[in-house]
Structure 1
Amino acid sequence: MRLILLTTTVVLMVAKLVSMMSVEVPSAPEILSMGCHRRSTRLTWTSTGQSPVKEFRIQYMTSWSPNEWINYPFLHPIHDDNVPLILNPWTNYTFRVIAVNNAGASNASLPSDWCQTEEDVPHKNPDNVYGRGNGPKNLVISWTPMPPREQNAPGFFYTVYYKQDDMPTADWHIKHVLDWQQSRLIVENLPKLRPYRIKVEAYNSLGKATQEAREVIGYSDEDMPSEAPKDLRLVDIIDGRSAHMSWQPVPPLTLNGHFKGYKLQVWTDSYENRSEQIVSANTTKALITIFKPAVNNTVQVQAFNGAFDGPVSNNITVSMPVDVYPDTPAFMWTRHTDRHNRAVIRITYEPNWTNDNPGRLIYIEYRRKGIDSIDEWTNTVPEGMDESNQHIDLVDLEFDKFYEIRVVAQSGELKSSSNISTIDTGLNKWPKPTTTTTREPPPTYAPYVPPAIVPSDDSNRQEGKTRGQDNDNDNRSPIADEDNGADDSSSKTPWIVALVVVLLFIAVFVTGFIYLKKRHTSSASESNNKKTGRNKVSDKIRSVSMTANPNEINSLVINVDNQRNNTAAANGSLGHDEGDDNDDDDNDNNGNDDDRHRQVYNGTTESRH
């Protein structure tokens, strides 16, 4: 079964590979027609050539951007050979089509005829409208110009409106700007430091824009503030990055414009590398959080209005400590009972890297709700958590009680605590896992089941078998399912090539198997021949004479004739067979006899070959 599955997989993969290799880039499409309407068109084309097409791309060029082809923005890939297109008014369009498949994109089709859409009023007004004075008794109104592709008709111009905002009965003053490239209008002889309501509208020969213009507030005759804040001083230090600073407010008559607030600037080595924090205009004491720990920081402050920054105050030096409050930690919790029927709360810590300071020590604090003092917490400092150990089990909790739990991050003497979670340890109240983070919580542990009602092993095995069968059904050949949707327009040639490749694979496999089999047989035959040669040599030395030295008193001559070997030789029996095995045993016995004779007679042996 595995061989069939493997073969099928190889066939499909080879077929897919060959199919991809055999697919060519599509030929360039041919545009058939284009219907041009007031603000839309319908483009129709046809594919040429035999290569399959995965999708089409449409590009356009306008009279406002000649020689620049732009992809038409579709929400989904285009598979049809005719589509409607929405166009801008008062624009000349030409189109071309590109076919795409797995091999790449085709050449673009020949451009279509030009299509000119009808005129319309502007669909928007200028963006980034702003007003402020930059000189005595004036107001500069500025905006972003609208390019021709947004004008929608000839005769385009801007209409600028302004009126004094602190006078309820004031009328709009109107100015026309005929040059569409102009980006500002200067209004002279206005009262000093007065707020003005401003708006700019777009018009063409057909009328004003369909949208209402947004109104903004600008101030006339703004100048640089003439005085700097005084008495800048340090109130207290919070940690290595933050401290409270205070200063005296700037007199209103010295602001010379619309007061926006204060800028506090902090640096350590050079003013060019300063950091800046802005506080509101009605503030003279603020928490500044842009200091650098463990070094001396220089601080200064200045006021600013809608047009200019004022002079800077005196600067002071602040020596910042090393420790910084850790980023507020987060955690999630689950609860269950262990085998000793104890309520177990698992707290999983999630470090906070917002300011790259999750804390040097992380631990848990918990207490009985409504019983313990508001300041008395039990903690797990000896079991501190870190990146390698991000959870702790609380096992000394009582059933049917409410507990308050939080995670604390500590750096030096500075601590940051998470939000407090209230947990009910009631046996019959099993909530879903609760978390103070968006991460997915770990699975909830099932309650402990007494041994008397534990399911039997047979039922567990049956359940495991059922789950295994379901998993087997889910894990069947995903490749076969994936490739069932192969392109029907592909040629049958890839399948023939794939079949040939599989047959070659099988032939190589069979040839290798036969070669290994023959090699094994040859090795066995060679081993038998070597053993037969050894038997022949042993037959020649079967006759052994042991002769005592004639000079010795005790001597004995023993002639041993192996009649069984002679008989076998007379009958023409050669090779290693059962008789030879017995001969080997006899030889072993004779050798043992010879050893006994050597021990008894103290003679010498001599073998003749």
Structure 2
Amino acid sequence: MIRNIQLNHAGKYTCAVQTKVDSVSIATDVVVRGPPGPPLDCQVTEMTETTASLSWKPGLDNHSPIFSYIIQARTPFSLGWQTVTTVIEQLRGKQLSATVTDLSPWVDYEFRVLATNSVGTGEPSKPSKKTRTKEMLPRVTPARVSGGGGGRSELVITWEPVPEEMQSGPGFGYVVAFRPLGAQGWMQAAVTSPDASRYVFKNESIPPFSPYEVKVGVYNNKGEGPFSPNITIYSAEEEPSRAPVRLRARSVSASEVEVIWKPLAWSNSRRRILGYELLYWGEKEKQDAASVVRTGGNKTSVLIRDLEGSSTYYISLRAYNSAGVGPQSSVVNVTTKKPRKEST
């Protein structure tokens, strides 16, 4: 019995039996079958924009015929070797070949081949030399095109940059197109950095908070690729122009104060109100060091907590939106209640 048999245990074995009166022996060849050895001489014979033609030579079959080959590829952007195709060997030739499809243009690839027989899949071949697919027009548009906000008289357009492996060639950049909603012609601007993620168009003639139709396209040295779908964004709005009114404050406890105000008009054609900023500071503090509580939405009250008892606080309020904050309201003051004495 040969335990844990290995391929190198194959060969001619002789069994002999001897008694006091006679002896007998017999020889036999022991064949050990195993997964195939690594294929040889894996190389790229031709490369197009999206395909690679490969050739290799079969390695040892280890006494079990090879019936298929697995082709794996990797790039500088992949996490490791990935199977790209399986080839069924129908002709037992000395030189084998296959074509790998659906590759990314202008990307360096390495390939290796693994053989399979009825016992299992063997070790991979040595990798081929790194070979780059040819460049072509870009096919992938930026994701998550959006925008809005920014400073006065600005149109801010943002997007998610196209990964390097999807740029299809050198000289990659973006074409930003925009127009007022309902207009006919497009204004365009080229952004030459492949890592760029925003473009800001600034012009004093841009009306505040006006709808614009935008799209972002791509290009490289081969020419222009497709544009993203059209979306609608808004130019920068103006800061709130009015201060909140009827600001009132009342002490709820030794550590809490409730502040109430009359809300401003929620929006108009030039600006919105996204919420309010409440500023409060103690009588021994300066207004520049005021604490800030920010509310979202059209709230009309807020509870300030963690104050000191029997202390006077000054409070002011202002509205805000994406352009900034508006003017402050008049200042009101309130004194927190006296703390309760702990019972003994």
TM-score band, normalised by shorter chain: 0.5 to 0.7
Which of 200, 203, 222 aligns to 2:219? It is 203
Indicate the residue corresponding to 1:177 in structure 2. 191
Q: Return the alpha-carbon distance in structure 2 between the equivalents of residues 144 and 203 of structure 1.
A: 15
Indicate the residue corresponding to 1:36 in structure 2. 46
Q: Return the alpha-carbon distance in structure 2 between the equivalents of residues 257 and 163 of structure 1.
A: 22
Indicate the residue corresponding to 1:57 in structure 2. 70
Matched, 1:135 2:145: no
Indicate the residue corresponding to 2:136 in structure 1. 120
Instruction: Check whether the contact 1:224–1:310 (CA below 8 A) recurs between aligned residues.
Output: no
Which of 85, 88, 98 aligns to 1:79? It is 88
* 1:231-287 Cα distance to aligned partner (Å, 9 max, x none): xxxxxxxxxxxxxxxxx997442993599xxxxxxxxxxxxxxxxxxxxxxxxxxxx
* 1:320-373 Cα distance to aligned partner (Å, 9 max, x none): xxxxxxxxxxxxxxxxxxxxxxxxxxxxxxxxxxxxxxxxxxxxxxxxxxxxxx
Structure richer in helix, relative to its length: 1
Q: Return the alpha-carbon distance in structure 2 between the equivalents of residues 174 and 257 of structure 1.
A: 28
Q: Secondary structure at the match of 1:253?
A: coil
Q: Return the alpha-carbon distance in structure 1 between the equivalents of residues 63 and 238 of structure 2.
A: 71
In structure 1, stretches of 5+ residues that fail to align are 1-21, 229-247, 260-301, 303-308, 316-609
Q: Return the alpha-carbon distance in structure 2 between the equivalents of residues 208 and 152 of structure 1.
A: 11
Q: Secondary structure at the match of 1:73?
A: strand
Instruction: Check whether the contact 1:140–1:185 (CA below 8 A) recurs between aligned residues.
Output: yes
Amino acid at match of 2:54: L
Q: Return the alpha-carbon distance in structure 2 between the equivalents of residues 250 and 27 of structure 1.
A: 78
Q: Secondary structure at the match of 1:160?
A: strand
Tell me the CA shift for residue 199 of structure 1: 0.8
Instruction: Check whether the contact 1:227–1:254 (CA below 8 A) recurs between aligned residues.
Output: no
Amino acid at match of 2:98: V
Q: Secondary structure at the match of 1:312?
A: coil
Q: Return the alpha-carbon distance in structure 2 between the equivalents of residues 212 and 100 of structure 1.
A: 45
Tell me the CA shift for residue 24 of structure 1: 3.1
Q: Return the alpha-carbon distance in structure 1 between the equivalents of residues 147 and 54 of structure 2.
A: 46
Q: Secondary structure at the match of 2:145?
A: strand
Q: Return the alpha-carbon distance in structure 1 between the equivalents of residues 273 and 33 of structure 2.
A: 69
Measured at CA, do residues 187 and 54 of structure 1 come closer, stay the same or move farther in structure 2, by a change above 3 Å? same
Tell me the CA shift for residue 314 of structure 1: 6.2
Instruction: Check whether the contact 1:198–1:215 (CA below 8 A) recurs between aligned residues.
Output: yes
Matched, 1:27 2:14: no
Q: Return the alpha-carbon distance in structure 1 between the equivalents of residues 60 and 216 of structure 2.
A: 52
* 1:530-585 Cα distance to aligned partner (Å, 9 max, x none): xxxxxxxxxxxxxxxxxxxxxxxxxxxxxxxxxxxxxxxxxxxxxxxxxxxxxxxx
Amino acid at match of 2:34: E
Q: Secondary structure at the match of 2:216?
A: strand
Measured at CA, do residues 194 and 184 of structure 1 come closer, stay the same or move farther in structure 2, by a change above 3 Å? same
Measured at CA, do residues 212 and 135 of structure 1 come closer, stay the same or move farther in structure 2, by a change above 3 Å? closer
Measured at CA, do residues 98 and 312 of structure 1 come closer, stay the same or move farther in structure 2, by a change above 3 Å? farther
Instruction: Check whether the contact 1:138–1:186 (CA below 8 A) recurs between aligned residues.
Output: yes
Q: How does 1:46-445 map to 2 (within 5 A)?
A: 46-50=58-62, 52=64, 53=66, 55-62=68-75, 64-65=76-77, 69-74=80-85, 77-80=86-89, 82-86=97-101, 87-100=103-116, 105-166=121-182, 168-169=183-184, 171-189=185-203, 190-209=206-225, 211-222=226-237, 251-253=266-268, 256-257=271-272, 309-312=296-299
Q: Return the alpha-carbon distance in structure 1 between the equivalents of residues 124 and 273 of structure 2.
A: 58
In structure 2, stretches of 5+ residues that fail to align are 1-31, 90-95, 245-262, 275-294, 303-344
Amino acid at match of 2:129: D
What is the root-mean-square deviation in Å for CA atoms of aligned residues?
3.6
Runs of 4+, deviation exceeding 6 Å: 223-228
Q: Return the alpha-carbon distance in structure 2 between the equivalents of residues 132 and 32 of structure 1.
A: 53
Measured at CA, do residues 102 and 192 of structure 1 come closer, stay the same or move farther in structure 2, by a change above 3 Å? farther
Q: Return the alpha-carbon distance in structure 2 between the equivalents of residues 182 and 218 of structure 1.
A: 19
Tell me the CA shift for residue 137 of structure 1: 2.9
Tell me the CA shift for residue 29 of structure 1: 1.8
Identity %: 26
